[in-house]
Structure 1
Amino acid sequence: MSKPKAKAESGGDEAELPDGGWGWVLVAALFISTSLVFGLMRSLGIFFVEFVQYFEESAQAISWISSTGLAAQQFFSPLGAALCNAYNARLVVMVGGFLAGFGLILASQATSLVHLYLTMGLISGLGWGLVFTPMVATVMANFTRRRTLALGVAFSSIGLSSFAFNPLFQLLVETYAWRGALLILGGLSLNIIPCGALIRPQQQRPKPKVVSVKTTSCAALLQRVFSYLELSLLLERPYLTYTLGVTLFNVGYFVPYFHLVAHSRQVGFSEYEAAFVMSAAGATDILGRVTSGWFSDLGYFRLIHLMSLWTALAGVFIMLLPVSSLSGSYAALMVISLLYGFCSGALTSLVFAVVPKIVGVQRMMGALGLLQLIESGAGLLGGPLSGLLRDVTGNYTASFVVAGSFLILGTLTMATLPHFFSCTDPPQRCSQNDKDACSHPELHQMNSIPSDTMVQ
């Protein structure tokens, strides 16, 4: 009678196995990779003035360089997920790291804006798309109880690298001009390659079976592509609802990053005061990511509830930003900015951590890729919409109110998820042929053990 009990206890322990160890090495790799993707993208504004002066083009034309890179990163995320499902994450991330660096190196030799669109925008953007989603999914597959904390620690690199890269890039431009600076950044981005090499080879995903001998080769190919991209998720209501909610978040989420400094200057604060507001919000953003990850993993509340709470609060604080600044009180603007920064950072890691709760760990890679693809349009819409409202009204008040409204609307959309008001996560459905993988999905997704550590 004691053996079944011991076996059950062993099974429970196994479910907790992927919760550290080599996973923390992968967190460090994601920390560095995220710095060299989003931290770098956030700091490319240093080159904005240099490009305007050198190419003698409009600011709008120059701004399409970074917009193209961001759009390419999110657009190619499903491709990265599909390649990981077909091959392995290690190879995909290493290739992505090479493309990210190679694009910047080529950009250092650009003679026209078209060259920059193709190199910094398309090639580097493709590389970034092949890096981010596989790295995030790999880290998530190596954690159970501390998954959100791991993501929070890794994503804190975005804020830290933004602080470090802005003065560093400015120094590089002043010392080596923009061409030399881009060449150095290309070499720096190649450090993503060893980060990808830290991913242990994963178990090969079973290839989709062809159910009929009469199936043509074209149909078989489409079936395989359909499986690798996890397009079946687009037919599932919970995933579609969640994706719609996140897409609505994304419309308003980045608006303060684009226009808070300009708004602060417009209402009469000095250039230094306006810049410090954004820096302070960035500092609490880092704190929010780590604190949210730690608190979420305590298990007191469901992740979807915590994410909805932080998102709603972030939306409210965005709407209060113009109210606080129009009062003429710099202290009020600073307090609201600090609260916004904390809440916006707190919700970030939860957006990814909730995904396996909805689709399961096995389909997490494809789900993250599709999520990035769908929300990319919303991210590109937020900035222009905010600018349009500013042009129409003459100030940024309507811009922030509308941006905050999108976050609150996304929160209300999340409330329509099945079992949203339940205090516990609904059980995941498993197929009869895949009981073992569903019983311990994290174990099924874990990296395989190197041969030199196996008992002979």
Structure 2
Amino acid sequence: MAAARSMFFWGYVIVLSKFTVCFIDTGIVKSFGVLIPTMVERLDSDYATVGLICSIPSALTHLLCPFVKYFLTENNHRAVAMSGAVLCGSCLIACGFLGNLISLGVCLGLAGIGLSMTITPIHLSVKAHFQEKFVLANTVALYGYTAGSVLLPVLIERSLEAYGYYPAFLILGGVALNAVACAATIRKEQRYSKLDEGHKQSDDPVDLSVYRQEEVSDTSQQPFRDPGKLPAKSPRLPGNISETSPRLPETSRRLACN
């Protein structure tokens, strides 16, 4: 029962982790709206091209979720999620030092792939911990999109004004690296049976000695019959009744025995 309660409360930690990842996901997209004018000047390009490149992370994050789900069937969810978070944060930090549109697009694409590797396992973990209340738990976690779209662009705007272009990308990548801690909260969900009133059904070996003792006690109470000690002949019938005589009614047999 204590283990079941622990896993139940750990589900709220998973919800908080998904909230943070959703905060990072939409915050990156909205922060590019602050950085695009400076990126156009530094990359000597137009708004359409830079805007298209900046939309790559969000597009790949959600388009690759089915493929990531297939990849997770044979791999550790926590390891995949943490690797994706490191990839996303590292690529965002590197984007501040790139001066080429192609390299910037590739780096932002890798950031989107990493974020997809992080958000998919966390979503599955929320589904596993809240099978009956998934809609409520997922709704609370999705509030991270609203919070990220409001708060993170303000942070990047202040960072751009105070520190400049490169430090702004460093701060954005540092915020994205917080997804590593969120991915570390993923653990294997243990299932419990309602018939056992909260007792977990884990992979621990079951103690069968109790059942074996019950079987032995049940068999010991039954009379033991040795085939070698059975009577060779059937008991002699009283009176003139023999084994070959026709079968008499029950009342007649009782009278004969008396």
Q: Same fold (TM over 0.5)?
A: yes
Match of 2:50 among 49, 62, 67: 62
Does structure 2 conserve the Cα–Cα contact (< 8 Å) formed by 1:99 and 1:127?
yes
Q: Give unpaired runs (5+ residues) of structure 2.
A: 195-200, 205-258
Match of 2:181 among 194, 216, 220: 194
**2:126 equivalent among 139, 155, 164:** 139
- Of 3, 12, 16 in structure 2, the residue corresponding to residue 28 of structure 1 is 16
Q: Following TM superposition, by how much is the alpha carbon of 1:202 offset from its aligned partner in structure 2, in angstroms?
A: 5.4
- The change in CA–CA distance for 1:450 and 1:179 in structure 2 (over 3 A counts) is farther
How far, CA to CA, are the matches of 2:135 and 2:81 in structure 1? 22
> What TM-score does the superposition give when structure 2 sets the normalisation length?
0.69
What RMSD over aligned residues (CA atoms) do the two structures have, in Å? 2.8
Task: Give the counterpart of 2:106 among 97, 118, 125.
Answer: 118
In structure 2, do the counterparts of structure 1 residues 54 and 85 end up closer, same or farther at CA, with 3 Å as the change threshold?
Answer: same
For residue 75 of structure 1, what is the aligned residue in structure 2? 63
Deviations 1:144-175 (A, max 9, x none): 33211111111101111211112111011112
Residue identity matched to 2:180: I
8 Å Cα contact 1:51/1:62 also seen in 2: yes
CA distance in 1 between partners of 2:55 and 2:202 (Å): 41
Name the SS of the counterpart of 2:32 in structure 1. coil
What's the % identity of the aligned pairs? 27
2:52 is matched by which residue type in structure 1? W
CA contact (8 A) 2:88 2:110 kept: yes
Determine the C-alpha separation between the residues in 2 that align with 1:48 and 1:129: 23
Report deviation, 1:47: 0.7
Bigger RCO (CA 8 Å, 6+ sep): 2
- Equivalent residue pairs, number: 195
Aligned equivalents of 2:74 and 2:105: distance in 1? Answer: 29
Counterpart of 2:38 in structure 1 is 50
- 2:141 aligned partner: 154
Deviations 1:51-76 (A, max 9, x none): 11222211111111222212221232
C-alpha deviation, 1:19, in angstroms: 8.6
Partner of 1:39: 27
The structure-2 alpha-carbon separation of the partners of 1:450 and 1:135, relative to structure 1 and needing over 3 Å to count, comes to farther
SS in 2 for 1:201: coil
Give the number of the structure whose alpha-carbon radius of gyration is greater.
2
CA distance in 1, matches of 2:94, 2:203: 37
Task: Report if the CA contact (8 A) 1:72-1:129 is conserved.
Answer: yes
Q: Is the 8 A contact 1:27 1:139 kept in 2?
A: yes
Match of 2:153 among 145, 149, 166: 166
Q: How does 1:36-435 map to 2 (within 5 A)?
A: 36-120=24-108, 122-201=109-188
Deviating 4+ runs (over 3 angstroms):
16-20, 448-451
- SS, match of residue 45 in structure 1: helix
Larger helix percent: 1
Q: 1:80 to 1:449 in 2, by over 3 A?
A: farther
Q: Secondary structure at the match of 1:43?
A: helix
Structure 2 distance, partners of 1:449, 1:198, is 20
| Deviation per residue, 1:189-221 (Å, 9 max, x gap) | 111111111111358xxxxxxxxxxxxxxxxxx
What is the CA–CA distance in structure 2 between the aligned matches of 1:159 and 1:126, rounded to whole Å? 22
